[in-house]
Amino acid sequence: MQDGAPPAIVEKLSCAWRQGSPSPGLGHLTHNPQVAGNALFVPGEIALLLDPDGKRFLVRLAERDSLHHHRGAVHHADVIGQPEGCRVRSSQGRFFTALRPRLLDFVLDMPRRSGIVYPKDAAHLLAWADIAPGQRVLEAGVGSGALTLALLRAVGERGLVMGYELRADFIELTLANVHAFAGVQAGNLLLRERDIYTGIVDTDLDRVVLDLPEPWRVLPHLPGTLRSGGWVAAYTPSIIQASQFVDAVRLTRQYVQLETHEVLLRGWHIQGLAVRPEHDMFGHTGFLSVARLICEPA
Ligand code: SAH
């Protein structure tokens, strides 16, 4: 069900967003083209520096910059031109290791002004909603772009992520985060400044991923926009929201394979005889509900 209104594309964005269609000239978030494969570190890219204790520091490499650390300064110039995995000496002679950050290292470090979907939940969502290369995925709301980054990578350069977001400042933050990670604007991303509760202007969607307060209000808009056989996923911090979403899904009698999950990730400390779970873990993040649209109500 579409409301027929023209998409309100936020101003101040690159021409790709203003035109409302992704530009083939832009990069894609499958990788940073600057740093693909085993290329040497170059100025401007983000490096992950591990200190002698294995603690992580993200830096954007610049010839004249340094990481100031209590174990000495690490000069970026010593990293630039080196391969990933190289060890560099700090001004105090201590060794640091330079690597490219995983997407999750970046996401946990990037600026955020909303709650985010944590990597453990994003990974689970990618599997259970079966997000794959080439798909057209609608996401709402976009927030700080943590989940957007995971979706962009999953759909690859032949796919498209369409993000609906109420707030222009969140759209700009997401664009900034995507750009910071990829080094380019992603050509497989289209952001719309819209209230998704009022309707969906895109069609032929393979997947719809919801992270907003009332995901059940999106359900009336899915037949006709989400293709039959496509998955809808709702990430909700509260089980009351999950329950309301699941009830609403069931009421339509138009979905199958309805499931709700919570992902508990527990790290283990393994050192000699000290083999035990880590003391700290994320006690709670959110619940994921997924369901699959069928042709007509059963
Ligand atoms: N998944 C995001 C976080 C989303 S926070 C991440 O991983 O970073 C929820 C977002 O939903 C907020 O940015 C909020 O502005 C947006 N939102 C709330 N209601 C909305 C609506 N009706 N339409 C579009 N976006 C909405």
Q: What pLDDT, on a 0 to 100 scale, did the predictor assign at position 24?
A: 40
Q: Specify which residues 60 forms β-bridges with.
A: 46
pLDDT band for position 27 (50/70/90)?
low
Asked if residues 113 and 128 have their Cβ atoms less than 8 Å apart, the reply is no
- For ligand 1, atom 23, the nearest C-alpha belongs to 195
Give residues (CB < 6 A) around ligand 1: 114-117, 140-141, 143-147, 164-167, 170, 195-197, 211-213
Rounded distance, CA 7 to CA 196, Å?
11
Q: What is the pLDDT of residue 37?
A: 65
**Residue having the nearest C-alpha atom to atom 19 of ligand 1:** 212
Binning pLDDT at 50, 70 and 90, where does residue 184 land? confident
CA of 114 to the centre of ligand 1 (A): 8
pLDDT band for 21, please (50, 70, 90 cuts). Answer: very low
Closest CA to 147 of 134, 164, 168, 169: 164
**How far does residue 161's CA lie from ligand 1's centre (Å)?**
15
Q: Tell me which amino acid residue 82 is.
A: Q
From ligand 1's centre to the CA of 74, what distance in Å? 38
Most distant CA pair in the chain: distance in Å? 70
Q: Report which protein residue has its CA nearest ligand 1's atom 3.
A: 143
Give 97 Cα–ligand 1 centroid separation in angstroms: 37
C-alpha–C-alpha distance, residues 234 and 157, integer Å: 24
Q: What is the pLDDT of residue 282?
A: 87
SS3 state of residue 215: helix
Residue nearest to atom 10 of ligand 1 (CA): 141
State the average pLDDT for the chain. Answer: 89
pLDDT tens digits along 218-276: 999 999 999 999 999 999 999 999 999 999 999 999 999 999 999 999 999 999 999 99
> Residue 218's pLDDT is what?
98
Angle at 174 between CA 169 and CA 176, to 5 degrees: 95
Indicate the pairing of strand 255-262 with strand 226-236: unpaired
Given this model, what pLDDT does residue 186 score? 81
pLDDT tens digits along 107-137: 999 999 999 999 999 999 999 999 999 999 9
- In whole angstroms, give the CA distance from residue 118 to residue 227: 27
14 contacts 185 by C-beta, under 8 angstroms: yes
Residue 18 pLDDT > 60, yes or no?
A: no
The pTM of the whole model exceeds 0.75: yes
Query: Residue for token digits 């979706």?
Result: 151
All CATH 3.10.330.20 domain ranges in the chain, comma separated: 46-99
Rounded-to-integer distance, Cα 276 and Cα 257, Å: 36
**CATH 3.20.20.480 for the 46-99 domain, yes or no:** no
Q: How far is the CA of 170 from the centre of ligand 1 (A)?
A: 8
DSSP for residue 217 = G
Quick one: pLDDT at residue 32? 55
Cα gap 13→193, rounded to integer Å = 11
What is the share, in percent, of the chain residues with pLDDT greater than 70? 88
Supply the pLDDT for residue 124: 98
| pLDDT tens sequence across 221-232 | 999 999 999 999
Strand partners, 88: 96
Determine the Cα–Cα distance for residues 105 and 48; give it in Å rounded to an integer.
8
Residue closest via CA to ligand 1's atom 14 equals 141
For residue 13, name the pLDDT band (cuts at 50, 70, 90).
Answer: very low
Q: Which of 212, 216, 238, 287 to mutate to test the pocket of ligand 1 (most atoms within 8 A of CB)?
A: 212
Helix axes 168-182, 146-155, angle to 10 degrees: 50
* First and final C-alpha spacing in the chain: 19
Angle at 169 between CA 165 and CA 174, to 5 degrees: 70
Class of 15-31+105-293 per CATH?
Answer: alpha beta
Pocket test for ligand 1, best of 191, 193, 211 (most atoms within 8 A of CB): 211
Q: Between 140 and 22, where is the model more confident? A: 140
* Tokens found for residue 276: 């035990």
At 185, is the pLDDT very low, low, confident or very high (cuts 50, 70, 90)? confident
The closest alpha carbon to 164, from 106, 217, 224, 104, belongs to: 217
pLDDT band at 182, cuts 50/70/90?
Answer: confident
